[in-house]
Amino acid sequence: MDSEDFQLAEEYFAFAIELAKKVGPMIRDAFYSEKEILTKSCTTDLVTETDQNVEKTILEAIKNSYPKHDFIGEESVAGGLKCNLTDAPTWIVDPIDGTTNFVHRFPYVAVCIGFVWKKERLFGVVYNPILNEMFTAFKGKGANLNDKKLKVSKEQDLGKSMIMTECGSSRDPKHLDKIFKNMQSVISAPVHAIHSLGSAACNICMVAQGGAEAYYEFGIHCWDYCAAGIIVEEAGGVVIDTQGGELDLMRRRIIAANNMSVAKSLSNVIVEQMELPRD
């Protein structure tokens, strides 16, 4: 990508930060209010009117300012739009990552805005308006939490690591069996602990700020980890496939870790590799 494209991307990055700030109050106000709760794929896959309104606000702002850009959003895809990643400038958005947390007023929720151009992830914005935490990163320029530079943990030993993961929304017994087998294998590696924040983006950002060494999960979507993935990389970490290879953004599985040593060690103790329909 040439310097002119990077300059344009920096403009889009500033726009994304302001956009996250704009929708933050919508999420924060609704967080403390009564909500109408709907479901999507199953009774534990929740969506609220706020998810839909926030995505609509973001989509309209992007289309008004950059009408030739592509858009992949969680609620738009749930509504029937195709999830198609091309070489075009593409915004990948989760209006509220951690909707179940949002419903229960557990304060780990975030609007996630990632940007991909020519299939290269260029920047990410993850904003938790409840805790007033703005995570940002632009390729090659480092990552920040508000005005503070982020740096991952220096730990090299999986056995001394804190691992983040989730059970996900699926309650299919076969799926859960694989999830729990993996958790049992990871905790028995051993590691110090397995924790869950209920949000893929918040889990990954916890790795980026050094509060955990790694995160892994199967079954999530590109909008869950596109933005956060570049934040952990720019904080000095890595993102890879759960089998140890290069991350495929549309494959719905990820390891995000503080370094490649921990990432590879974690991939080696994941006993149930899961192939899911691609985004």
Catalytic residues: 74, 94, 96-97, 99, 224
Buried residues in 208-219 as b, exposed as e (16+ CB within 10 A): bbbebbbbbbbb
Give residue 224's identity as a one-letter amino acid code: D
CA distance 165 to 40: 22
At 126 the three-state DSSP class reads strand
Contact between 98 and 120 (Cβ < 8 Å): no
Q: Look up residue 91 and give its DSSP letter.
A: E
Residue 25: asked if its preceding bond is cis (omega within 30°), the reply is no
Compute φ and ψ for 49, nearest 5 degrees. Answer: -60, -30
CA distance 88 to 67: 12
CA distances from 154 to 142, 201, 236, 261 (A): 16, 21, 10, 11
CA distance 142 to 151: 9
The number of helix segments (H) and strand segments (E) in the chain equals: 8, 14
Taking Cα atoms as reference points, which of 73, 67, 97 lies closest to residue 85?
73
Contact between 135 and 237 (Cβ < 8 Å): no
Q: What's the token pair of residue 144?
A: 């920040």
- Of all helices (H) and strands (E), which one includes residue 137? strand 133-138
Q: What's the token pair of residue 126?
A: 């993850």
